[in-house]
Amino acid sequence: MSTLSLSQYLCREQQLHDLDPVLSRLIVSVSEACKTISFKVRNGALAGVLGMAGSENVQGEDQKKLDIISNDIFVEAVALSGSVCGMVSEEIPEVIPVPEDLPIGPYLICFDPLDGSSNIDINVSIGSIFSVLPAVRPKREPVAEDFLMPGTKQVAAGYCMYGPQTQLVLTFGRGVVMFTLDPTTGTFMLTAEDVRVDRSAKEFAINCSNMRHWEDPVKRYVAELLEGKTGVRGKDFNMRWVAAMVAEVHRILQRGGIFMYPRDHRDLTKPGKLRLMYEANPMSMLMENAGAAATNGHQRILDIVPEKIHQRVAVFLGAADEVERVTSYHAE
């Protein structure tokens, strides 16, 4: 199959849609980071990348070695691109500046360097997620407040999935495209354009072990899905849970469905488990660009103005009809 490489695709976007060459350079650097992580993941125990790091991140999660390795790979690749003035990462408490000897650029980037950490040691799909924001006033040492803009401001977002194939999925706000890493040449090749998600769905994803803690609208919505053909929904629904948001979103982009990570009664002060700036915003931008939807049960995720870089949020994303239904239950 003859198709475009990622670099050729970015050149085409520069010609056809005035894509900023600096943003293009940032995406190439992100793709280089993902490629390096992919090679490490493929080697697993042989590369010594499995197991715990023995530390905790700012969210109180035990860090895996690969969480930290991936973070370091991202930070280095992005800093060298000269296209950002700062970075924030799930794994680092404060804003990460660009080293003084390197040039800065007009963008800010937020990333989850390794998503699906609990899958690392069992050889199940994992990924990296990124979100690019414009810096309002590019400066050498941006502070956390400089990142606190709603997801509608994102100029690019995407993820890379390290599964049976390594795939990079990307949006600049003009639809969603997918690239597959050719392992023989180390090149990301364009393998899907204009990715669309059906409004209706037959599949849902939620961690049902938390059912007893859910709020009533979520209990009602899932109970109705489980009733199947003879219930109010009048059809059967299938369920999947990979425990890596990247893999759930990837499945939805390929064959539809809804993904949920609601807040729950264990701790009502916590607005959810997933992180707004590293996970929910980039995935919501991808969803909306594929004709799907994303809310926190009450409002569009992309409209939320963050108060902190590590802020968490409830997430309902995927098939528009299903997201609208579960969101409407929250209003009742």
* Binding site residues, Mn ion, CB under 5 A: 61, 90, 112, 114-115, 117
Give, as ranges, the residues between 265 and 304 that touch ligand AHG (CB under 6 A).
273
Q: Give the number of other Cβ atoms within 10 Å of residue 215's Cβ.
A: 16
Contact 317, 294 (CB under 8 A): yes
Residue selected from 81, 117, 125, 327 as contacting ligand AHG according to rule CB under 6 A: 117
Question: Does 209 count as an annotated binding residue?
Answer: no
Q: Which of 316, 315, 332 is nearest to 324 (CA)?
A: 316
Question: In sequence order, what are the residues at sequence separation of 6 or more whose Cβ sits closer than 8 angstroms to the Cβ of residue 223?
Answer: none
- Output the CA torsion 170→164→129→96 (10° steps): -120
Question: Does 119 count as an annotated binding residue?
Answer: no
Instruction: Return phi, psi of residue 226, to 5°.
Output: -75, -20
Residue 13 or 264: the one with the smaller Cβ distance to ligand AHG is 264
Residue 35 or 250: the one with the smaller Cβ distance to ligand AHG is 250
Give, as ranges, the residues between 241 and 270 that touch ligand AHG (CB under 6 A).
243-245, 261
Q: Give the number of other Cβ atoms within 10 Å of residue 166's Cβ.
A: 22
Residue selected from 20, 115, 146, 198 as contacting ligand AHG according to rule CB under 6 A: 115
- Exposed (0-12), middle (13-18) or buried (19+): which is 186, by Cβ within 10 Å? exposed
Question: Does 203 count as an annotated binding residue?
Answer: no
Residue 237 or 278: the one with the smaller Cβ distance to Mn ion is 278
How far apart CA 258 and CA 46 sit, in angstroms, is: 36
Q: Give the Å distances, CA to CA, from 167 to 31, 149, 189, 303.
A: 10, 28, 9, 28
Smallest distance from the beta carbon of 184 to Mn ion, in angstroms?
Answer: 29
151 in contact with ligand AHG (CB under 6 A): no
Question: Does 274 count as an annotated binding residue?
Answer: no
Q: Which does 243 bind (CB under 5 to 8 A by kind): ligand AHG, Mn ion, none?
A: ligand AHG
Q: Which does 70 bind (CB under 5 to 8 A by kind): Mn ion, ligand AHG, none?
A: none
Residue selected from 112, 203, 264, 288 as contacting ligand AHG according to rule CB under 6 A: 112
Q: Which does 244 bind (CB under 5 to 8 A by kind): Mn ion, ligand AHG, none?
A: ligand AHG
Q: Give the Å distances, CA to CA, from 294 to 196, 205, 306, 315.
A: 14, 14, 16, 7
Binding-site positions for substrate read 115-118, 207, 273
Q: Which residues bind ligand AHG (CB under 6 A)?
A: 61, 90, 112, 115-118, 207, 243-245, 261, 273
